[in-house]
């Protein structure tokens, strides 16, 4: 029950303070521009509908994961710097409930990002039996990636000495994970395939592409989801075990 109370408070702070709506609006503007360009390229026959849907879906997932991580990275270190963490720790709730509540609030942003993406995907995929599949793919893969990044963001936020350190470390990690998706296709060798599979982001994005673009069945390439699933489990366990111990008024590795 206490976790639900904290989650409600954190969600109100996120959405009523203006941060959530502003981030969602900026994301919608970006998605509108990408969708317009993709639709224009469809008319010019530069892109097929499946390619357009895949492009917008992958951008939606990428930006959604980014925004979720940013909110999570600010959750504890930000409150610590604003001087509001002390009053939160004095409330009659466990620190585990505080961590869970903040995780739920961060994931609420991913939920909104996904909802906003629905009409864009529908417009681009109209007339092709791919929209439903794309939405389900985005929901499954995007939720796995967003949940793991939110958990990592909370862990970094709790251990960081300042909010700037937390945000910088989180963004650097996400950039390192997403960078391979922007590089030319890796060689179809065992080493290249292994590098794709062990990175949860590249594995998840590659899986989406295989299903949407290549027409593979969902079960044909399930092995690419091993890395995202393992990452979610590992980060969740770390958050449960370490979260209550490291949510404190002072950050940094040496803090006790």
Residue 14 above 60 pLDDT? yes
Tell me the backbone φ, ψ of residue 44, rounded to 5 degrees: -85, 0
Token readout for 59 is: 């951008």
Q: Count other C-beta atoms under 10 Å from residue 171's C-beta.
A: 15
Outline where DSSP puts E strands in the chain: none
pLDDT in tens, 156-179: 998 888 899 999 999 999 888 887
Tokens at 56, concatenated: 């917008």
**Cα-Cα-Cα-Cα dihedral of 109, 110, 111, 116, to 10°?**
90
The whole-angstrom separation of Cα 152 and Cα 113 is 19
Structure pTM?
A: 0.89
Burial of 172 (0-12, 13-18, 19+ CB in 10 A): exposed
What pLDDT shows up at residue 195? 82
Percent pLDDT > 70 in the chain is 91
Q: What are 120's two structure tokens? A: 């864009």
pLDDT tens digits for range 133-151 = 999 999 999 999 999 999 9
Other Cβ atoms within 10 Å of 170 Cβ, number: 25
Tens of pLDDT, residue by residue over 63-122, are 999 999 999 999 999 888 888 888 888 888 888 888 999 999 999 999 999 999 999 999
Kindly report the average pLDDT of the chain as a whole number.
87
List of residues 6+ apart from 216 with CB closer than 8 A: 210
């Amino acid at each position: 029950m206490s976790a639900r109370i904290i989650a409600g408070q954190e969600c109100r702070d996120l959405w009523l303070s203006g941060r959530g709506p502003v981030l969602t609006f900026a994301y919608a503007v970006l998605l509108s521009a990408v969708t317009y360009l993709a639709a224009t390229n469809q008319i010019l026959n530069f892109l097929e509908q499946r390619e357009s849907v895949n492009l917008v879906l992958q951008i939606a997932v990428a930006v959604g994961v980014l925004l979720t991580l940013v909110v999570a990275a600010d959750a504890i270190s930000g409150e610590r710097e604003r001087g509001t963490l002390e009053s939160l720790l004095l409330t009659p709730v466990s620190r585990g409930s505080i961590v869970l509540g903040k995780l739920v609030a961060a994931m609420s942003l991913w939920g909104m990002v996904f909802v906003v993406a629905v009409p864009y995907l529908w417009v681009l995929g109209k007339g092709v039996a791919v929209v439903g599949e794309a939405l389900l793919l985005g929901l499954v893969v995007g939720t796995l990636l967003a949940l793991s990044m939110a958990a990592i963001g909370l862990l970094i936020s709790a251990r960081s000495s300042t909010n700037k350190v937390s945000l910088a470390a989180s963004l650097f990690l996400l950039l390192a994970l997403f960078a391979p998706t922007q590089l030319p296709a890796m060689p179809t060798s065992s080493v290249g395939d292994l590098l794709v599979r062990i990175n949860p982001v590249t594995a998840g994005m590659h899986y989406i592409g295989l299903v949407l673009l290549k027409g593979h069945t969902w079960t044909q390439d399930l092995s690419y989801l091993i890395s995202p699933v393992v990452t979610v489990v590992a980060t969740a366990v770390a958050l449960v075990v370490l979260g209550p111990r490291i949510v404190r008024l002072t950050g940094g590795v040496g803090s006790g």
